[in-house]
Chain A
Amino acid sequence: MSRIRVPLSEVKLTKEDFVSDQIVKWCPGCGGHAILKAVETAFPETGFRKENFAFISGIGCSSRFPYYINTYGIHGIHGRANSIASGVKIANTGLSVWITTGDGDSMAIGGNHFIHTIRRNIDVNILLFNNQIYGLTKGQYSPTTPKGQITRTSPYGTIEHPFNPAGLVMGAMGTFFARVLDSNVKMMTEVVRESAKHDGTAVVEILQNCIIFADKAFSYLTDKEQKDDFQIHLKHGEPMLFGKNNSKGIVLRDNRLQIIKVGENKQDDKNILIHDQYEPDPGIHRMLGFMRPPEMPRAFGVIRAARFDTYDHLMEDQIDNAKKRSAIKCVDDLLNSGETFEVN
């Protein structure tokens, strides 16, 4: 059962309630604009009071986001958005806390905080802008840059294996992971709304096009000829179908996810997996998160939304219980507790 404590708005909000008066300084054509639009659209739909949103960011293109949306917010320091946001949420569980971060901010310098926030399941929302490049410092490779890619700091091609954010989330027993393309504003809006409703750390990986330094990094996914084969949109409770006219399905065979053609074999059709985003065991979710073309389609939508206790609620429970049980009700009680003696 959800224990989200963000108060609801008494009036119906619209997108305009969240539009900031600041000039948006992202490059024209940057995926950031679409993300901003999706968030502004999704927020009124959450029903939350507009004063109870807080945006926390680190450093990088993604981290300018708090200036561009009219909520409370902190533009923090490099890599530390997750830590700052953890403090915000723990101190005030009535806030809907959002982190905008990138593949440098959260996969490199702040990698530690990213996994630990997820491990604790603090009820924050992490919008991970993954453009596979360092944009604000002008084009160095990041921890998610594909191996071999030539960048300004890898003139001979990178020799590093990239992180898959889904792997980090599942590895840390994360409770919510979704993936979206910045070009799909509709899905992004839905996922942002789902993320807001999730009680626990929600990670939304947004494959974001950096038009300047890594343009078309995701065009293989959006290319008209192959996008049906290279994308699968997961929906809870629905069979995992994709391809033109949903002609393909995903089954688990020989301990691996595999593709079958729908209608060729009745037994195969029966074995097509039904997506269960609430499954506590992250096994299948991890496999889905790791699927990649050309062998498999890339998974989009909410891949995992498991229900576990959150850190912030457990802490409040402990405090409530201690308040009920302890004889120490105020600091004067504490000061006079234990061994003391009186001098007259």
Chain B
Amino acid sequence: MSKNSKVVEKESAVIKFVGDSGDGMQLTGSLFSDTAALFGNDLATFPDYPAEIRAPHNTIFGVSGFQVQIGSIKINSSGDFCDVLVAMNPASLKANLKWVKKNGIIIVDSDSFDKKALAKSGYEENPLENGSLDDYKVVKAPVSTIAKESLSGLSLSPKAALRSKNMVALGITGCLFNQDINSTYKFIEKKFKDKDTVIESNKKALAAGYDYARKNETFETTFFVPKADFPKGRYRNITGNVATAWGFLAAAERSGRELFLGSYPITPATEILIELAEHKSLGAKVFQAEDEIAGICSAIGASYTGALGITTTSGPGFSLKSEAIGLAVITELPLVIVNVQRAGPSTGMPTKSEQSDLMQALYGRNGECPVIVISASSPANCFYYAYEAAKLSIEHMTPAVLLTEGSLGNGSELFRIPSVEDLPEITPPIAKPNDPEYKPYARDPVTLARKWALPGTEGLRHRIGGLEKFNIEGNPTTDPLNHELMTKLREDKVKRVENYIPEQPIVGEDSGDLLVIGWGSTFGPINTAVKQLQSEGKKISHTHFHYIKPFPKNTGEILRNFKKILVCELNAGQLVKHLRIEHPEHQYLQYNKIQGLPFVVHELKEKFNEIL
């Protein structure tokens, strides 16, 4: 810090790093976040990147961004508007200026604002010089020059040296927030283990950026975000996709089942596959199949043998799996299908988040084909809902769909590390050898789950399959009344899951003028908006669904006590349709955003106020 600079304490701050898709913005943002987390800030991150791996330089569509909100208070979203924008080139500034708070700080690489780059990004004049940024505090740092100079002793090519300019920008930002640079060093060392040159150049560039900010009195004011007041425990930063993978590993261990993942890479779900492939030491069997269908079918096969069968995908892959989900429904086997949703239809916008596969999860199959549908609402709670999906699927012998979203899967937040022993027990209904009572489709009278008879077990040889089966005996049949019975049994079995899930919670009073309903990733912004209006004295409450099929038993009761109900979704209105079917006695208003972007608090507040 410069001697003259003043340190201002902030309870939260939103920082966004933007640049070309090859500029390393995801790494920069992650390192900043990890450093903040290690210090003890609460945080939530939101990576926003294009589908192209290395999009053309300095183009609006090629901009890659990483937003993080850090705080000394509970942070439940990556935030709407930035306090600090770090822009590596004109295009990324242009694309993100609208997200910067008035009087916010914009740090730019001034070296990148040459004529050619300005023209390519559609600027007629240099925004750093024409006064158009007068509403902001602009820091013009020669980031590229600093990078090159700091690495001059390393005999790197100029091109290679420039690769470290993101570290210069990180150094400047780290200084602005008084971060401990030594923690960042450690993360760099870990990330680039065994690549000594990369570690050295990144650390040098980081230090150079930090020094630049300090010595040049770049900032009159710097910020300090104190430690958050967390409940006691051990914490780590975790992304939703990693949390999902770990939730399954925990469920496998707790249930004594082997984990089998059959999956095919697809954005934005691939990280679950990558993460599970890492954990062979925990016995995870990961099968990268030739396609989505082979992925789910192999998982069904594994599940038949007694493994926890899982398949992970995103929207288009989920479509391909539909027929096989039906097979798992009629064979009444455990199976978890994860859909990390992205904007559709078809290929849609693979790297943009959306909540538009709910109808597909609930209804997208031939025949009467009920499955459990649950969803996570934050990166960290992906762990618990993955665990819960596995538990319900195993104990009720029926497939479960876990819906997450790209923004949850790639986003991260702090996760209070649980102990596996404290997680709820999972009791697989495994049939005993030579059980004289065993029949393939005999059911538990309470849950209606059939028994799981594992190949290799003495005295239980049986066949299951896609043909309709006689109840209890399990032989194929087209008997009319039996088909009706089996259809109802399968539906009822899923319905009875409501007896094994928690009641629907409500944030705020259990009656009032407006009930805001959400599901999935929108928890953070909705919760923040509702709480702000509550503090203004408005009679508004929030309920967020994690269990969608079946709904919690008290759902009807909650809905009854409000004058108006508003369902907010990042789609054209899917949960709202499902509510209209399941609880038709109410009027539902809806608020939808279909832009591949999360809700921002102010637009929600505006909408809520309009309705109130």
A288-328 Cβ-contact flags toward B at 8 Å (1 or 0):
00000000000000000000000000010011011101101
Q: Are B302 and A91 in contact (CB under 8 A)?
A: yes
Q: Are A51 and B455 in contact (CB under 8 A)?
A: yes
Task: Give which listed residue, A57, A87, A332, A338, contacts B297 with CB less than 8 A.
Answer: A87
Q: Are B327 and A86 in contact (CB under 8 A)?
A: no
Q: Are B465 and A318 in contact (CB under 8 A)?
A: no
* Minimal beta-carbon separation of A19 from chain B (angstroms): 12
Q: Are B463 and A80 in contact (CB under 8 A)?
A: no
Bound: A81/B547 CA distance, A: 33
| Chain B residues with CB under 8 A of A340 | 234-236, 417
Q: Are A92 and B281 in contact (CB under 8 A)?
A: no
| Chain A residues with CB under 8 A of B512 | none
Q: Are B237 and A339 in contact (CB under 8 A)?
A: yes
14 A–B contacts from the bound complex (CB under 8 Å): A77-B326, A80-B293, A83-B298, A84-B298, A87-B305, A90-B260, A91-B258, A92-B306, A92-B455, A95-B456, A319-B285, A326-B281, A338-B236, A341-B38
| Chain B residues with CB under 8 A of A73 | 462-465
**B290 proximal to A (CB < 8 A):** yes
* Minimal beta-carbon separation of A328 from chain B (angstroms): 5
Chain B: which residue is nearest A328 at the CB level? B281
B263-303 Cβ-contact flags toward A at 8 Å (1 or 0):
00000000000000001111101010111011001111111
Bound: A96/B190 CA distance, A: 44
Q: Are B282 and A334 in contact (CB under 8 A)?
A: yes
| Chain B residues with CB under 8 A of A94 | 456
B178-213 Cβ-contact flags toward A at 8 Å (1 or 0):
000000000100100000000000000000000000
Across the A-B interface, the 6 shortest Cβ-Cβ residue pairs? A75-B465, A87-B301, A87-B298, A326-B281, A83-B297, A91-B302
Chain B: which residue is nearest A317 at the CB level? B280
A24-65 Cβ-contact flags toward B at 8 Å (1 or 0):
000000000000000000000000011110111101000000
Task: Give which listed residue, A77, A88, A342, contacts B305 with CB less than 8 A.
Answer: A88
**A336 proximal to B (CB < 8 A):** yes
Chain B: which residue is nearest A112 at the CB level? B290
| Chain A residues with CB under 8 A of B466 | 59, 75-77
Bound: A292/B258 CA distance, A: 47
* Minimal beta-carbon separation of B456 from chain A (angstroms): 5
**B372 proximal to A (CB < 8 A):** no
**B304 proximal to A (CB < 8 A):** yes
* Minimal beta-carbon separation of B382 from chain A (angstroms): 14
Q: Are B455 and A90 in contact (CB under 8 A)?
A: no
| Chain A residues with CB under 8 A of B304 | 54, 72, 74, 84, 87-88
- Greatest chain B CB density within 10 A among A55, A88, A332 is at A88
Q: Are A83 and B420 in contact (CB under 8 A)?
A: no
* Minimal beta-carbon separation of A227 from chain B (angstroms): 37
**A267 proximal to B (CB < 8 A):** no
Q: Are B420 and A332 in contact (CB under 8 A)?
A: yes
**B461 proximal to A (CB < 8 A):** yes
Q: Are B40 and A91 in contact (CB under 8 A)?
A: no
Chain A: which residue is nearest B251 at the CB level? A331
Bound: A94/B305 CA distance, A: 10
Task: Give which listed residue, B289, B309, B327, contacts A76 with CB less than 8 A.
Answer: B327
Q: Are A87 and B38 in contact (CB under 8 A)?
A: no
**B394 proximal to A (CB < 8 A):** no
**B253 proximal to A (CB < 8 A):** yes
Q: Are B456 and A92 in contact (CB under 8 A)?
A: yes
Bound: A53/B440 CA distance, A: 17
Bound: A88/B260 CA distance, A: 10
Q: Are B285 and A315 in contact (CB under 8 A)?
A: yes
| Chain A residues with CB under 8 A of B400 | none
Chain A: which residue is nearest B417 at the CB level? A335
- Greatest chain A CB density within 10 A among B246, B249, B302 is at B302
Chain A: which residue is nearest B308 at the CB level? A91
**B430 proximal to A (CB < 8 A):** no
Contacts beyond the supplied A87-B297, A88-B305: 14 A-B pairs with Cβ under 8 Å: A49-B456, A51-B455, A54-B304, A54-B305, A72-B463, A74-B463, A74-B464, A75-B467, A77-B327, A87-B287, A87-B300, A87-B301, A95-B305, A335-B420
Bound: A84/B300 CA distance, A: 6
- Greatest chain A CB density within 10 A among B279, B306, B455 is at B455
